[in-house]
Amino acid sequence: MLMEENQQMKINIQTMKIFKTVYCLLMVVLFTACSSSKQYKTIVAKNTLNHERSNEVVELNISSLGLKTLDATIGVKNVATNEFMLTQLVDQDGDGVMDQLLFQPKIGANSEVEFQVVKISSSEKPKAEDLCFSRFVPERTDDYTWENDKVAFRVYGPNAQMLKETGQKRGTLSSGVDAWLKRVEYPVINKWYKETLIDKTGSYHKDTGEGLDNFHVGVSRGVGGIAIRNNSEFYYSKNYTKWRTITTGPLRTSFYLEYENWTAGSKTITESKIISLDLGNNLSKFETSVSGTKEIYAGLTLHEKDGKVSSGNGWVTYWQPHADSELGTAIVADAKTFSGSEKYDVEEKDLSNAYAELKVSSNQVTYYAGFAWKKSKQYPTKESWTAYLDRFSKEINTPLLISVK
């Protein structure tokens, strides 16, 4: 009898062990299923250069993430640190549906970092001011302006062109790019226009500590306007005719511009572009669609011709005295696009520019243009500015390697 009881006890203990094992396995399966509903894809970002990179925005398209929708519940987490990244959603094609997720990682030299796209609560989501901003400005004819924490720019629209061509005040006829010299990290566009045009309490042509607009464009190329060369003469488009804001936010602003067809000697040119500016960058990205030519020339105005044009690996810059300070402007493009540079110096006012010659491939050409103002203390010397251009050039020629799994 005792042996039978002991045998029954052993069977009961074994049954309990089996039940406990099965229970644990079920809990693991349930936990995994629960976790997988909140975790979507793993992103690996690899840096193959010998320096840390932190100012490049990674673009993740909705199709690569395997998601049907992108909304505020989608986040990005650093796997090693469990830190949630600052993100931005973009409706790239303007159809009302978010189709791109942006984040800006920091990747050490010759290293890679793993991120997870996850479901995130509003309390976990990092928040930041929208430092990357752009808008149409009807209160001053029809400027379009954009900025980030480093620099600001503007271009001119059809009403400004009409005013100039009919001899009225406040007109501007130019497809050149104006530079607004700011030396603060917070946004100034709305503030400066309001103070100057609405409140009449100040003028953005005077520096009261934030910076000012004292950069003359005229019919020059300003900072990155394009030209077409036919024989020895350069031709320009007029003001933009259509605009569309694509996105503004903490990491990027971007917008679309379109131009009326124009002629360059015997060539008929069509031109449109998407311009974007990312957080922490001094250079705007110009993704230009152009037909009727195999190359374009992106230019930098030479102003008083008292500065120095220099070039490097995929870039050309003009460093010049500017009022009571100094200013560097630049064009940068990748090795497949950048053909060379030249200084075009003529007697006519505003027609002298430093040019980057850029190849057009399948009616597309991408380049970067921007500036550094000594008073901003970002790149206060020509040497620090050209070092930045060298670094930037290396990065666009050796982009971060992004894999989704």
CATH code of the region 133-402: 2.70.98
pLDDT value at residue 115: 98
Cα distances (Å, whole numbers) of residue 402 to 42, 64, 85, 112, 265: 10, 11, 16, 10, 44
CATH code of the region 41-127: 2.60.40.1180
Q: How far is 21 from 13, CA to CA, in rounded Å?
A: 12
CB 211 within 8 A of CB 375: yes
pLDDT in tens, 71-116: 999 999 999 999 999 999 999 999 999 999 999 999 999 999 999 9
pLDDT in tens, 257-270: 999 999 999 999 99
DSSP 28-44: HHHHHHHHHTTEEEEEE
- pLDDT classification of 15: cutoffs 50, 70, 90: very low
Q: How far is 391 from 380, CA to CA, in rounded Å?
A: 16
User: Cβ neighbours of residue 285 under 8 Å, at least 6 residues apart?
Assistant: 275, 276, 277, 278, 366, 367, 368
The residue among 227, 231, 183 whose CA lies nearest residue 380 is: 183
Question: pLDDT at residue 30 above 80?
Answer: no
pTM, two decimals, is 0.90
For 62-141, list the strands marked E by DSSP: 74-78, 87-90, 100-103, 111-119, 133-137
Dihedral pair phi/psi, residue 282, rounded to 5°: -95, -5
CB 342 within 8 A of CB 314: no
Mean pLDDT of 264-290: 97
| Domain regions of the chain by residue span | 1-37, 41-127, 133-402
Mean pLDDT of 138-147: 97
Question: pLDDT at residue 21 above 60?
Answer: no
Q: How far is 30 from 32, CA to CA, in rounded Å?
A: 5
Helices and strands, counts by H and E, the chain: 5, 26
